[in-house]
Structure 1
Amino acid sequence: MMHRVCILLLSLFCCYASGQWVEGQASVAVEGAELDEIRVMAIKNAIADAAYKNGSFITAEDIVLDGLLVSSKAQIRTQGRIQRVEIIDETLTDEILTVTVKVDILPLFECASDPYMRSVVVTQFQLLKPAQARQGNIFEFGRQVTSRMAQQLGDHQPAADTLLINQAFMPASAFHNIEHDQIAAKASVMVKEYHRQYVLFGFIRDISLFEQVKEGLLDDDISLRRNFTLEVYLLDALQQDIVMQNSYHGEGDWTFDYNETVDLNNSLFWRSDFGRVVLNTINSAVLDVSNTMTCLPTMLPVVSVSPTQLSVALGTKHGVRQGDLFELYRSALPLMEAQLHYPQWYKQPALILEVEHVSNRSARLRSVDPNAPLLAAPYDLISPAPLL
């Protein structure tokens, strides 16, 4: 059963300038109630305790599966947003359940942002060491991770317009030597084929197994655990620049038999300890990707040009409305030459473009000044005009 926990906490203090991890704790008496229900309540109260210490005014909806917190789906309402929740300790003593959590709270309005949905191509994440997938026969693990990253990125608030493609951006052999010339050439191809600003790519560095020994009073307890290390890159394909690169790591108990073939399409895997670790690690990466895109300006390539109008692949799905205003940026280098250098863009002076017609995924724009020449070419860029 899926439980949805809503928290509303009134702030008594001013918010912090930047997000930080805050610890919270709560204790709840079991008193014959279902332990899963008590656990949900204790987690909720611990998160509220952390938010109170941070001085945030938050409304959050945390998704709990079978009494286990699997991801935070916090919705911004006022001053803060819960980004991540980690359960760091649980104890049951004398019918009292005590839960300790760490909560990452990001203040609202940390960066200026335009209102348009970001567009991103999600490419396949590859296993750097495919032989590590033999334990469990999880050779499709990379595809599963990629699919869930794309899904979470599309579901996250603010949502991104994601396109999942069945190819990798870089071969696994390029992991230790990613050069700009390679990125520039591939980014140019992506822009021409998909007309999207960002490309999400990366590698699964480690899914190895290891044994962990816990000392007990009588016998040592040996558990089999599995690593999950993810390397994530976010590329601004228009600027041909990597705007985010982070490594994420988690580890969880591997509860399956050593020679068992694990069905990655079965919810039993994703509800296992290792499966939840994978989902939470992906969620951390998605939060950082989303925050990075939100804090960068929307820029889209011009798809086609006529003497009086130009078209872009941005529409009502992305928040565009008739009458919205944009600026035109032209390339200082010919297209083929720009593929081998960092592109240089300059704003066409005194030219403001207005959305004349908009559909779900495209818009036509014209110059606000009918006497201003529309000097534009395919793959020039548009960006929202600043508010006066």
Structure 2
Amino acid sequence: MLGIQTFAKLLLVSISSVKRRYLARYANAAFFMALFCLAIGSTGQSYAAWYEAKGQAVIVNGNKEKARRDATEEALKQALLFAGASINSVQQLTNGLLEREDITISSSGEVDHLELTDEIWHSDYVTVSVRADIFPAAKQCTAVEYDKNIATSYFMVENRNHLVEGKIPNFSEAVTRKLATEMSAQAQNLNLAYIAPHTTRWGVNGLEENVRALSRQSNAQFVLIGSISDVSVERQRPSSFAFWKEEKATRYFSLSIKVFDGINSGLLLQQDYVTEAAWPFDRFTDVDEFSSTFWRTEYGKAIKKQMQQLTADINETIACQPMTGRVLNVAGSHISVSLGRDNGIKNGDELFVYQTSEIIDRHGKAYLQYHIYPGAFVVENAYGNTARLIHKDSGIVANIQESDFVIKR
């Protein structure tokens, strides 16, 4: 049997190997060093590890405080991701770090201890180092393993006059597609599977019905709607005493989103994402909002960062939502449903069928009432986006109708 010291050394060698492969992929973002605690307890205990990470951020318009915050957040996020912890509290922890001069914070949960160990200021960017004692995240639910499909349409731009400068009429499409790209890269089980090729003004009237309609049309369980309220540009002309200087331009970005369960139109997440960054183009430049040139600007990077945060927020919100689909067809003793291998369904899985009805109380308020069909159904054949089920015990499917619902817990 290996001694504790030998075991610890082997662990460190293994971690270093993984770290080198990780660093090869993320060399330009941050670097990591992990050291396991010297005291290793009994078998089955969750171990914490110290992680050191560096983050960098560009100083825009002389705003050093924002650059410092961005660099700290980047370092902490990379450390958490590398350690296997969740990143839902990154912003909260970062803000806590920056509130006081000693730059030390302790918290319960995955991050046990956190320190800002160093910051180095350069002419146009800052490098921040953090050191964190992190416990890897425990699996919270079985549903986290299932693919979550989301449908949306191009985000509505509320004031299209904001798109005149730069001539970016397709800005909403570009941002929506950038979100799809970031979601695919960042979240393993999260897919922006369907984007309706038009913008939609989601008013209050008929909202729930429209959400359910988009969910049915796309065969996606979740629906994301978004509205961009600000893409304006603010220009600061140099004073008459510094006429040789170029004017500075700042462009804003403000996005409001809602995420619904498309099956019952329940609101799961409502959030605003606001940022600003330098706009490097003059008043007369035509900008291609789909181009790499645009997305490599500080403004493009700032929006991309908001898309990454939006992805993390959605993932955190719906990770443990049970996978739900619809009954497509009832034929004899078999039913076909709108869940399949693309959703992680496989032969032998057990699903449950239920119906919903609307009831109205004496005050006129509407509620959904659920009627669960007795027993479980077993997947007999799983296909791409559908599956054929049979009742686990009796094989009877009486009273089940098309448009009923099926759930995998």
| 2:169 corresponds to 1:160 | no
| 2:272 corresponds to 1:250 | no
Shift of 1:213: 8.6
| 1:296-335 deviation digits (Å, cap 9, x = unpaired) | 221111121223111122222221111011111112359x
After TM superposition, the score normalised by the length of structure 2 is 0.67
The amino acid that maps onto 2:194 is L
Between structures 1 and 2, the one with greater helix share? 2
The amino acid that maps onto 2:406 is I
Q: Distance in 1 between matches of 2:399 and 2:141?
A: 29
| 2:301 corresponds to 1:276 | yes
Unaligned 5+ segments in structure 2 are 1-23, 40-51, 57-68, 99-118, 360-364
Contact 2:234/2:251 (<8 A) preserved: yes
After TM superposition, the score normalised by the length of structure 1 is 0.71
| 2:138 corresponds to 1:112 | no
Q: Cα gap change, 1:59/1:249 in structure 2, threshold over 3 Å: closer, same or farther? A: closer
Contact 1:81/1:106 (<8 A) preserved: no
| 2:236 corresponds to 1:236 | no
Q: Distance in 1 between matches of 2:294 and 2:178?
A: 14
After superposition, residues 1-388 of structure 1 pair within 5 angstroms as: 4-5=26-27, 7=32, 9-10=34-35, 12=37, 50=76, 58=80, 60=82, 78-81=84-87, 91-92=121-122, 99-100=127-128, 108-109=137-138, 111-114=140-143, 115-161=145-191, 162-171=193-202, 174=203, 178-179=204-205, 182-211=206-235, 223-333=248-358, 342-349=367-374, 351-370=375-394, 372-385=396-409
Which protein has greater RCO, CA pairs closer than 8 Å, 6+ apart?
1
Number of aligned positions between the proteins: 323
Q: Cα gap change, 1:25/1:312 in structure 2, threshold over 3 Å: closer, same or farther? A: closer
1:314 alignment partner, SS class: coil
Q: Distance in 2 between matches of 1:312 and 1:233?
A: 27
| 1:213-263 deviation digits (Å, cap 9, x = unpaired) | 999xx9998521000001111111111122111000110000001111111
Shift of 1:195: 2.5
Q: Which has the larger radius of gyration?
A: 2
| 1:93-150 deviation digits (Å, cap 9, x = unpaired) | 8xxx851278999962474341211121121101100001111011110110111112
Contact 2:53/2:131 (<8 A) preserved: no
Q: Distance in 1 between matches of 2:320 and 2:55?
A: 38
Unaligned 5+ segments in structure 1 are 14-23, 29-42, 61-76, 335-339
| 1:38-86 deviation digits (Å, cap 9, x = unpaired) | xxxxx9x97897489xxx8x553xxxxxxxxxxxxxxxx6444588699
The amino acid that maps onto 2:175 is V
2:225 alignment partner, SS class: strand
Shift of 1:291: 1.6
The amino acid that maps onto 1:130 is R
| 1:276-310 deviation digits (Å, cap 9, x = unpaired) | 11111111112111221213221111121223111
Contact 1:46/1:100 (<8 A) preserved: yes
Q: Cα gap change, 1:193/1:51 in structure 2, threshold over 3 Å: closer, same or farther? A: closer
Q: Cα gap change, 1:50/1:273 in structure 2, threshold over 3 Å: closer, same or farther? A: closer
The RMSD of aligned alpha carbons is 4.0
2:168 alignment partner, SS class: coil
Q: Distance in 1 between matches of 2:74 and 2:288?
A: 37
Q: Distance in 2 between matches of 1:48 and 1:148?
A: 20
1:332 alignment partner, SS class: strand
Identity of aligned residues (%): 19
